[in-house]
């Protein structure tokens, strides 16, 4: 039961668990997309005998750019859905989910125009130029978009840590609730 503009919300105390499962599913989806981008680079060498580097390497950079963009869109969507879901929760449940909201506040994602602007990301630009000089100039866009991919991956790792922390906090409570539901009346 996934909602378009928010995470599922139940009226009982399992709402935090349901929201955590839904956001964890979205984090896994983002990780899968980023992994596809990394696999494209690893598998690009298999097409090297067929396609010349002048064709193959820009395609790999485009795949990186597309996967990073999709992961960024997914990240923004998770933040919006969490905000909508938290508005409907009780203060105690909201306090449990606050570490997730803090991750989104601590790591706000800049717009894609800022991410892909080499002038606004001088460190990433410098690293990609250095990598292009050391390997091949056609690798510069790949290194640049790989930097964007790694930023997205770091944010998903932070979300996973927050989810694990919240799950560890509510696990004893959920176990107690399951034990109580197993006791016959």
Report the C-alpha gap between 122 and 105 in whole angstroms: 24
Give the CATH number, domain containing residue 175.
Answer: 1.20.120
Do residues 17 and 174 lie in contact, with contact meaning Cβ atoms separated by under 8 Å?
yes
Which H helix or E strand runs over 23?
helix 15-43
Q: What is the mean pLDDT of residues 135-142?
A: 87
Do residues 158 and 107 lie in contact, with contact meaning Cβ atoms separated by under 8 Å?
yes
Residue by residue, DSSP assigns 64-83 as HHHHHHHHHHHHHHHHHHHH
Q: What is the mean pLDDT of residues 137-164?
A: 90
Span 94-115, pLDDT tens digits: 888 899 999 999 988 778 888 8
Residue ranges making up the domain that contains 75: 15-116+151-182
Higher per-residue pLDDT: 115 or 81: 81
Written as six digits, the tokens of 45 are 């060498």
Written as six digits, the tokens of 18 are 């349901």
Q: Would you say residue 141 lies in a domain?
A: no
Q: Would you say residue 28 lies in a domain?
A: yes
Q: Would you say residue 80 lies in a domain?
A: yes
Q: Would you say residue 7 lies in a domain?
A: no
Do residues 78 and 6 lie in contact, with contact meaning Cβ atoms separated by under 8 Å?
no
Q: Would you say residue 129 lies in a domain?
A: no
Written as six digits, the tokens of 80 are 């919006």
Q: How many domains does the chain have?
A: 1
Q: Would you say residue 5 lies in a domain?
A: no
Q: What is the pLDDT of residue 107?
A: 85
Written as six digits, the tokens of 88 are 């409907």
Quick one: which of 87, 90, 82, 37 has its CA closest to 61?
37
Q: What is the pLDDT of residue 167?
A: 87
């Amino acid at each position: 039961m996934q909602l378009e503009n928010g995470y599922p919300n139940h009226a009982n105390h399992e709402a935090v668990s349901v929201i955590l499962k839904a956001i964890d599913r979205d984090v896994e989806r983002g990780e899968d997309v980023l992994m596809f981008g990394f696999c494209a680079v690893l598998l690009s060498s298999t097409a090297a005998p067929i396609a010349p580097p002048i064709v193959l390497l820009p395609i790999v950079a485009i795949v990186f750019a597309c996967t990073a963009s999709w992961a960024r869109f997914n990240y923004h969507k998770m933040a919006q859905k969490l905000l909508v879901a938290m508005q409907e929760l009780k203060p105690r449940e909201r306090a449990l989910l606050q570490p997730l909201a803090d991750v989104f506040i601590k790591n706000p994602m800049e717009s894609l125009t800022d991410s892909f602007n080499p002038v606004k990301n001088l460190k990433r630009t410098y690293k990609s130029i250095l990598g292009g000089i050391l390997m091949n100039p056609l690798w510069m866009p790949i290194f640049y978009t790989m930097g964007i991919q790694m930023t997205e991956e770091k944010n998903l790792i932070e979300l996973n840590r927050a989810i694990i922390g919240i799950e560890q906090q509510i696990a004893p409570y959920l176990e107690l609730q399951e034990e109580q539901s197993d006791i016959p009346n």
